[in-house]
Amino acid sequence: MNRKRTTRATPDVTSQAAPAPATVDDDKPASAPAAQTTRGKRKRLDLKSYVEGVLAGDRAVLGRAITLVESQARRDHELAQQLLIELLPHTGKAYRVGITGVPGVGKSTLIEALGCNLISRGHRVAVLAIDPTSRATGGSILGDKTRMTRLSRDLQAFVRPSPAAGSLGGVARKTRETMLVCEAAGFDVVIVETVGVGQSETTVAEMVDFFLLLMLANAGDELQGIKRGIVELADLIAINKAERENAVAVRQARREYMSALRLMHGSHPDWRPSVIAVSGLHNEGLDALWAQVVEHRALLERTGYLASRRQEQTRRWLWTMVEERLMRALREHPAVAALAPEIERTVLAGELTPALGAEALLQAFGLRSS
């Protein structure tokens, strides 16, 4: 059986022995609407091949399915949505964990150690690492793939760097859908890693069940610059790099974070977020960290909050997509595009208020003031 080429962002492994996905040669008529060719000589899979490949855990097909979901091309959108509809009944059972923290806090090192621990217990782990995107080229750094080399090589893991593409808080626009594809492929732990801490990083908490905030002990004024909203959303704060030489600083930081948490309300009325010390480098404290995730999940399931939380997340997802589509339609509207430069000029010159400028653009779009 020939080896299948994987996508750019999948680990360097080949698909497991499985029937070859249906494809169509460039010089032969398509036997199914979805059977078309893509860039170069690569064959485009049909819907049935995508579904069967993902559900079988075929890593090559999984990578291609995620690429399809992430695609901005209009021709891929319909097939991607059909694929998600077929996969939805096979999703929803995984642990969804979001991890954020300032650059340099050791997110990748901790995630790799945690992921390897979970795999040794029989879990399958998918890591969706949201990479910064260059505003100049649109390219991403994709550094987490190279930093998590041990986890990337494990057949029970799937590390997928995704460019943020300028979306809110560095969260890739398609991360939610990518998460569903990974769950359908049999990964029962999905970790979403973000690029840093900021007010907009709360977007991550709206797509996961458990939100982990990683902090450092020797970072000056620990709470300075950390947004209150982020701390309020944290289900657990873990002080990373808690090696023996940092013991005094870690204890001081833990007291400060605990004091801050007492002034805030958690994401669930019966859950009191705690602060623990961990070392991703030395794999210390990670069992206690995961125990918190499991305990939190049990609480959500016992109270029925897990189902209601995910329904609320889906509702927000729906309206976010509506808002994004409306904004794109507004900006692409010919009348708006023609008028926008002049409106911007007059607003910046102080000749027109932003409110009146917005009203003019909306009227050009076809909306009338109430």
Give 101's strand partners. Answer: 214
Q: Which of 89, 121, 139 is the last residue of a domain?
A: 89
Domain assignment present for residue 117? The answer is yes
pLDDT of 142 strictly over 60: no
151, 27: one domain: no
353, 329: one domain: yes
78, 106: one domain: no
What is the C-alpha to C-alpha distance for residues 33 and 79, in angstroms, rounded to an integer?
10
Beta strand pairing call for 125-131 and 95-101:
unpaired
Q: Which of 64, 89, 114 is the last residue of a domain?
A: 89
Domain assignment present for residue 345? The answer is yes
What is the C-alpha to C-alpha distance for residues 210 and 290, in angstroms, rounded to an integer?
11
Q: Which residues contact 268 (CB under 8 A, 6 or more apart)?
A: 296, 299, 300, 303, 305
Which residue range forms the structural domain that includes residue 324? 310-365
Cβ atoms of 66 and 178 within 8 Å: the answer is yes
240-275: buried (b, 16+ CB within 10 Å) or exposed (e) per residue? bbbeeebeebbeebbebbeebbeeeeebbeebebbb
Q: How many domains does the chain have?
A: 3
pLDDT tens, residue by residue, 95-130: 999 998 888 899 999 999 999 999 999 999 999 987
- 3-class secondary-structure state, position 302: helix
Give 162's strand partners. Answer: 130
pLDDT tens, residue by residue, 58-74: 999 999 999 999 888 88
128, 64: one domain: no
pLDDT tens, residue by residue, 246-273: 889 899 889 888 888 887 776 788 899 9
197, 177: one domain: yes
Domain assignment present for residue 370? The answer is no
125, 225: one domain: yes
Domain assignment present for residue 340? The answer is yes
Selection from 69, 36, 253, 25 nearest residue 179 by Cα: 69
47, 84: one domain: yes
248, 322: one domain: no
What is the C-alpha to C-alpha distance for residues 17 and 3, in angstroms, rounded to an integer?
10
Selection from 275, 261, 159 nearest residue 212 by Cα: 275
Which has the higher per-residue pLDDT, 164 or 14? 164
What is the C-alpha to C-alpha distance for residues 14 and 62, in angstroms, rounded to an integer?
11
CA atoms within 13 A on the CB side of 83: 33
pLDDT of 55 strictly over 50: yes
282, 203: one domain: yes
Average pLDDT over all residues of the chain: 82
Domain assignment present for residue 178? The answer is yes
Mean pLDDT, range 24-31, rounded to an integer: 34
Q: Please state which of the ranges 104-113, 129-138, 160-169, 199-208 shows the lowest mean pLDDT.
A: 129-138
pLDDT of 4 strictly over 70: no
Domain assignment present for residue 214? The answer is yes
211, 352: one domain: no
Domain containing residue 166: CATH number: 3.40.50.300
Q: What per-residue confidence (pLDDT) applies to 6?
A: 41
57, 145: one domain: no
CA dihedral 169→68→189→238, nearest 10 degrees, is: -20
Q: Which of 34, 55, 89 is the last residue of a domain?
A: 89
295-323: buried (b, 16+ CB within 10 Å) or exposed (e) per residue? ebbeebeeeebbeebbeebeeeeeeeeee
Mean pLDDT, range 308-334, rounded to an integer: 92
Q: Which residues contact 126 (CB under 8 A, 6 or more apart)?
A: 157, 158, 159, 160, 179, 182, 183, 185, 187, 189, 190, 191
| Band (279; pLDDT cuts 50, 70, 90) | very high
pTM beyond cutoff 0.85: no
* DSSP calls for 69-90: HH---HHHHHHHHHHHHHHGGG
146, 221: one domain: yes
pLDDT of 236 strictly over 60: yes
